Amino acid sequence: MQLAIPHAPRRVRLAQVPGAVARLVRGALLGLGVMALLGLGAAWVGRFFVEEQRFAARAEEVEARVARSHAPPPSAREDAEGTLDVLYTFADVEHSVAGVRTRADFAAGLG
């Protein structure tokens, strides 16, 4: 279907339309800026996961003793969280850690 336009617009160059080039440049710069921000965000997230993987790869299992366990009452243990106070020796130095989070039923079984 062809429309009958009484006075068909003539072809013009983009530079002849007031503000068209500026709008295109702004749009391109905005697009590049958004892409750069997305790239930086992806790089940061990737670095975070790589560091977590490196940390887990360096981890060593050590013997420890549970000094105390903190668990909610038996009626509130389903899907709840308990904490442990732990004593351990690493590299001939004794350490203690309070508030190690674990499942409430596991914490109750240890203490």
Looking at the structure, do residues 80 and 49 belong to the same domain, yes or no? no
User: What's the pTM value of the predicted model, to 2 decimals?
Assistant: 0.47
pLDDT, position 8: 66
Looking at the structure, do residues 75 and 106 belong to the same domain, yes or no? yes
The residue range of the domain holding 105 is 64-110
Structure confidence by residue, pLDDT tens digits, 79-104: 889 898 999 999 899 999 998 898 88
Read off the tokens for 108. 């109750």
Q: Are 62 and 91 in contact (CB under 8 A)?
A: no
Q: What is the DSSP letter of 10?
A: P
Average pLDDT of every residue of the chain: 88
Looking at the structure, do residues 53 and 71 belong to the same domain, yes or no? no
CA distance 104 to 89: 25
Answer whether residue 2 is part of any domain.
no
Answer whether residue 7 is part of any domain.
no
Domain count, the chain: 2
Burial class (CB in 10 A: 0-12, 13-18, 19+), 104: buried
Three-state SS at 43: helix
CA distance 68 to 108: 10
Looking at the structure, do residues 18 and 54 belong to the same domain, yes or no? yes
